[in-house]
Amino acid sequence: MRDVALIGGGLTPFGELWEKSLADLVAEAGIAAIMDAGIEGEDIEALYIGGMSAGRFVGQEHLGSLAAEVSGLSELHIPATRVEAACASGSLALHNGYLAVASGMYDVVVVGGAEKMTDVAGTEATNILASAANREWEAFFGATFPGLYALMARYHMHKYGTTREQLAEVAVKNHYNGTLNPKAQYRREVSVEDVLGSTMVADPLHLLDCSPITDGAGAVVISSMDRAEEFTDEPVRIAASETVADSISLSERSRFDGIPAAMTASRRAYNRAGVSPADIDVAEVHDCFTIAEIMAIEDLGFVDKGKGGSAVDDGLTTLDGELPVNTSGGLKSKGHPVGATGIAQIHELMLQLRGQADRRQVDDAALGLTHNVGGSGGTAVIHILEAI
């Protein structure tokens, strides 16, 4: 296994981008990443692209070939692979690109992630997202995606005394961070009262506990560490890329107060990188719902199981806290184009570790972690990134 470096990245604005197609988004993110990395098209040896359900959102499959076409790379005849693991598709694509470079197969690889979600109506988007759950034994009975997280939220509240207000504080924090991110879908602050007063979606989760429906794409360029300096003087080392699967159905898992796949994948990632949770300076976690961020900081070992709510109360995870979480605004405020989310998390940490995160920069950020979850916990992907 060779060391792998992140040498560049690009992100489209996130939001309701009616004027842009899926192909436009893929091209925009890919071109931005290639320009940032300082590579030529001829340097690229393989493409990977994460996408959850372009087939149902816009009637488009075969994303690998689409990405090659719109990036002007078709004639290079390089391998292009689409990777799918629901909302973890982007990071699972990166994991596959990482394996390809670490193995010695390729030196320079571009990894993208994209989703175009706003071309369908809201109820249809809800239905498509429910395909990340077990269609026959969960969705068939009327369980929705927010519904599955609501089951975990109520379980967590019942078992540990996590409060409704603590959930709301996650949204308040992430919306504040989003005001500092020019790419974010919602660049406005919300209050605890706003969250608790918003429409009920799946009790106890309100509308402002939920990440939005979003269009967007991201791309990163990775290379072997020994070639990274040919292209950039600010490479970021991928210290760990770990992923595990668990049951697609919530009811089939070993516990409901967290995401077992995230617990296991993060332990393996810490071991691989030779670091501990206390060493992490900044994290982007999968806050598809507010409860998910509280469970994430527990599952990742930043706080003990059951203490996530009080840690949020204590300000552990704010921008000036001991461990800033979701400086980008998270899925909650930055937006959640499902296939792009994992790449967007990596992009945010790349900015943080290069010292380019502007008004949301975390001082002396040297080690960052991303936590990307597919479905209600059927897949977890963890990356640890290190400034060089």
Partner 1 sequence: MGVPRYWREIPQRYNLIGTKCEACGQVYFPPRSMCPECRRASVGNMEEYQLKGSGVVESYTVIYAPPPHFEHEEPYVIALIKMDEDTYLTGQIVDVSPDEVSIGMHVESCFRRIYQDGKAGAIHYGYKFKPVG
For partner 1, which is the closer residue by CB, 153 or 325? Answer: 153
40: exposed, middle or buried (Cβ count in 10 Å: 0-12, 13-18, 19+)? exposed
For partner 1, which is the closer residue by CB, 137 or 176? Answer: 137
Cα 292 from Cα 288, distance rounded (Å): 6
Nearest distance in Å: CB 330, partner 1: 21
End-to-end CA, the chain: 19
For partner 1, which is the closer residue by CB, 149 or 270? Answer: 149
> Which residue is associated with the tokens 């391998």?
79
Longest CA–CA separation in the chain, Å? 59
Structure tokens at 77: 């005849």
Q: Which residues contact 172 (CB under 8 A, 6 or more apart)?
A: 189, 190, 191, 192, 195
Q: Name the residue type at position 377.
A: G
Nearest distance in Å: CB 57, partner 1: 15
- Active-site choice (286, 336, 371, 383): 336
Nearest distance in Å: CB 198, partner 1: 11
Residue 109 · residue 93 · CB < 8 Å: no
Look up residue 12 and give its DSSP letter.
Answer: P
β 282-284/236-245 pair status: unpaired
For partner 1, which is the closer residue by CB, 82 or 156? Answer: 156
Tell me which residues touch partner 1 (CB under 8 A): 123-124, 126-127, 130, 136-144, 146-147, 150-155, 158, 199-205, 249-252, 256
Nearest distance in Å: CB 124, partner 1: 7
Of residues 170, 176, 226, the one with CA closest to residue 195: 170
Q: Name the residue type at position 282.
A: V
Nearest distance in Å: CB 240, partner 1: 27
**Considering just the CA atoms, what is the radius of gyration of the chain in Å?**
19
- Active-site choice (87, 95, 156, 175): 87
Nearest distance in Å: CB 155, partner 1: 4
Residue 210: active-site member = no
Distances in whole angstroms, Cα of residue 242 to Cα of each of 27, 295, 329, 369: 28, 19, 24, 11
Instruction: Provide φ and ψ at 46, rounded to 5°.
Output: -160, 155
For partner 1, which is the closer residue by CB, 211 or 361? Answer: 211
Nearest distance in Å: CB 90, partner 1: 24
Of residues 207, 212, 170, the one with CA closest to residue 192: 170
Residue 87: active-site member = yes
For partner 1, which is the closer residue by CB, 155 or 176? Answer: 155
Q: Name the residue type at position 370.
A: T
Instruction: Provide φ and ψ at 216, rounded to 5°.
Output: 170, 165
For partner 1, which is the closer residue by CB, 150 or 273? Answer: 150
Active site residues per annotation:
87, 336
